[in-house]
Structure 1
Amino acid sequence: MKKLQVGLLGAGRMGAFHGENIACRIKGAELYAVCDPVPGSAERLANQLGVNEKAFTNLLEMLEQPDLDAVVIASPARTHAANIIAAARKGKAVFCEKPMAVTLEEADEVLRVVNEESVPLQIGFNRRFAKGFRSAYEEIRAGKIGTPQLMRSVTRDPALGDPAPIPEWTIFLETLIHDFDTLLYLNPGAKPIEVYAAADALVRPDFKEKGFLDTAVVTVTFDNGAIATAEANFQAVYGYDVRGEVFGSEGMLTIGDIRQTNMTRYNKEGVSYNTVRYDQDLLYDAYVDELQSFTDAVRNQEKPYVTGEDGRAALAIAAACIESCKTKRPVTLKDGAPQFV
């Protein structure tokens, strides 16, 4: 079977990592081209990854390449919807980093075009591919802990850089969006019906007046009775902390480990261990596996494991969080959309 020819959009931190995975670790795929609007960025990464004659600064030019089969989008979040639509209009399969869009209106337009053009779309919710989260999902689906009653998902980044360039509501749209998808994933078949969010600037209070929030807690109530919390903070000084917990009528599951290895240190200072400080280290296998899953789905003409509809479902919770923060009230969700008053 012919290898999938993949174009990469975005040569930044995450794009470079995805490009390296496609070029070196994904079976059945080849990195065909790299595109980035910043002059020189695509060329530098393309040279590093062995596709030096296929570097573009314009997405539409890359999409015109006749041998291109698919696009991996790792551009800034605010460009995702337009870039997905552009690729879909050219008949290219799309893998897009989260979020798929930053408004529900954009997400609905993405889904309309993707369905109209009959192209596969996978969203980069990597925790679904992490072994611990995948194992928990299988246990829950098998009824091993009964009906979920209490749920928790945590994302704490190890260090906050300069907040100035970070767009408003990033904590919901780009960070906690992972947690919202995790809660949906680990409560299969259930729908969120109410959301309440509280957020503040506790790491950098000097940026609060500019609309920057670095700490948040969200409560989500589901139609099967489960009550879930999702929390985020942009500066956990002890490491990169991603965890989950599901308490059910017949047991409990916990997911996530911040340890760098299974080594534990015992000395006169006490007991300690080294912690992971970087997302690509903590979730390395998941990042590779999500692109392998996308490649396999496209080549075998199968439905992607994480669909555009999944991306919209998580975005609906994020949109409800933004409204809840503005009104300081719970927000009801009905038919997958926040009910704004």
Structure 2
Amino acid sequence: MTSSSSPSSPALGVGLIGAGRMGSFHAATLAHRLPGVRLAAVADPVPGAARGLVDRLGAPAAAYTDIAAFLADPEVEAVVIATPARTHAELVVAAAGAGKAVYCEKPMAVTLAEADRAIGAARAAGVVLQVGFNRRYDAGFRAAHEKIVRGDIGTPHLLRSLTRDPKLADPAPIPPWTVFLETLIHDFDTLRHLNPGATVVEVFALADALVRPDFKERGLLDTALVTLRFDNGALATAEASFQAVYGYDVRGEVFGSAGMLTMGEVRRTHLTSYGPEGVGAECVGYDQDLFRDAYVAELADFADSVRTGRAPSVTGEDARAALAIALAAIESVRTGGPVRPAPAAETAAETAAGGHG
């Protein structure tokens, strides 16, 4: 699938900030996979990173090391942020302030104050703000949500979501609390999405450095288990590990009063081999393989939101709610007891919006 447009509907110019691993995938999607969308520019503060990515893609896009110059480019109508997590909120505010629609990889922020400021900036500018919770766009997880909304399995009673990364290569650069803020944040959003209309009222978390215990004193937690209680009575668990030796493992389960749904598949295909060494199957080892279609679909949805002006499917408020659960989990580990997540803060977001007007 390649980008295209009609004379009456020019291609939407989208700029990318961050030319790293995930940014490179998104850049290829913007340049070659979405009709009516074009990669207008790439920005990365590392000298040569943006230009190198643009050249590899063969895209007629500008390359910047200066973010302000990038945001001032009139060819950039919307922005995709794929930078390190701790930079996200500041970039959302800057992009919104420049009048650009924003797609931001998770987490949108690492504090609730940052989240409120980002939401407020987008509201004040009147621009779309979408956050990258890709599992909502995966075919299996999307179908499960639709079945739950229809009532196919009755009332959700027990939910489960897990993320197991394939390998912990170098733990040294991993910031503290990453397991909650950048890994389990996906699971927290997934559990909210699979129990629609319900609110998490209690969080209890356990975490340790089981993969690399030698890094625990430096703040690494590579294994975690979190229990959630919802206000509709449902109970949920979320678990994460930074090293599943068999592959990249993302699954979910919802048990309800009238049935059960399971989502996720670690196997690369449905092929099973039988031989002298036993029975085996190839497993997925990379997130961009497992969620390739979902990653493309979420940017297609973002582009449609920008064109039509409709609210995005995954909002800044969704990102804030998942972050509130993550922060409650961190506090639970610190205190050793259950924690009530901070409530939604519409008034705070509205105040922040007024402050940017």
Question: TM exceeds 0.5?
Answer: yes
Partner of 1:29: 37
Partner of 1:73: 81
1:4 paired with 2:12, answer yes
Task: Give the conservation status (yes or no) of the 8 Å contact 1:33–1:51.
Answer: no
1:219 paired with 2:227, answer yes
Partner of 1:248: 256
**Distance of aligned partners of 1:190 and 1:61 in 2 relative to their CA distance in 1, 3 Å threshold:** same
Q: CA deviation at 1:137?
A: 0.1
Q: CA deviation at 1:334?
A: 5.1
Task: Give the conservation status (yes or no) of the 8 Å contact 1:28–1:296.
Answer: no
Partner of 1:195: 203
Q: Distance in 2 between matches of 1:142 and 1:39?
A: 51
Q: CA deviation at 1:2?
A: 2.1
1:333 paired with 2:341, answer yes
Moved over 3 A (4+): none
Which sections of structure 2, spanning at least 5 residues, go unmatched? 1-8, 346-357
Task: Give the conservation status (yes or no) of the 8 Å contact 2:42–2:61.
Answer: no
Task: Give the conservation status (yes or no) of the 8 Å contact 2:327–2:341.
Answer: no
Q: Distance in 1 between matches of 2:305 and 2:58?
A: 25
The count of residues paired between Structure 1 and Structure 2 equals 337
Q: Distance in 2 between matches of 1:52 and 1:304?
A: 28
Q: CA deviation at 1:161?
A: 1.2
Task: Give the conservation status (yes or no) of the 8 Å contact 1:2–1:28.
Answer: yes
Alignment partner of 1:61 out of 69, 76, 79 = 69
Q: For 1:37, what is the secondary structure of its paired residue?
A: coil
1:306 paired with 2:314, answer yes
Partner of 2:151: 143
Q: Distance in 1 between matches of 2:240 and 2:96?
A: 33
Once the two structures are superposed, residues 119-168 of structure 1 have per-residue CA deviations (whole angstroms, 9 ceiling, x without a partner) of: 10110000000000000000000000011000000000000011111111
Which sections of structure 1, spanning at least 5 residues, go unmatched? none
Once the two structures are superposed, residues 22-76 of structure 1 have per-residue CA deviations (whole angstroms, 9 ceiling, x without a partner) of: 1010122100000000111011001112346611011111000112100000000
Identity %: 62
Partner of 1:40: 48
Q: CA deviation at 1:262?
A: 1.2
- AA at the equivalent of 2:84: P
- AA at the equivalent of 1:201: A
- AA at the equivalent of 2:265: D
Once the two structures are superposed, residues 106-125 of structure 1 have per-residue CA deviations (whole angstroms, 9 ceiling, x without a partner) of: 00111111111111011000
Q: Distance in 1 between matches of 2:230 and 2:157?
A: 9
- AA at the equivalent of 2:198: A
**Distance of aligned partners of 1:72 and 1:53 in 2 relative to their CA distance in 1, 3 Å threshold:** closer
**TM-score for both structures, normalised by structure 2:** 0.93
Alignment partner of 2:286 out of 260, 266, 278 = 278
Q: For 1:203, what is the secondary structure of its paired residue?
A: coil
Partner of 1:290: 298
Q: Distance in 1 between matches of 2:344 and 2:233?
A: 17
Partner of 2:192: 184
**TM-score for both structures, normalised by structure 1:** 0.97
Once the two structures are superposed, residues 275-296 of structure 1 have per-residue CA deviations (whole angstroms, 9 ceiling, x without a partner) of: 0000000111001110111111
Matches within 5 A, 1:261-272: 261-272=269-280
Partner of 1:134: 142
Task: Give the conservation status (yes or no) of the 8 Å contact 1:122–1:306.
Answer: yes
Q: Distance in 2 between matches of 1:169 and 1:52?
A: 39
Task: Give the conservation status (yes or no) of the 8 Å contact 1:43–1:52.
Answer: no
Alignment root-mean-square deviation, CA: 1.0
- AA at the equivalent of 1:205: P
Q: CA deviation at 1:336?
A: 3.2
**Distance of aligned partners of 1:287 and 1:53 in 2 relative to their CA distance in 1, 3 Å threshold:** closer
Partner of 2:247: 239
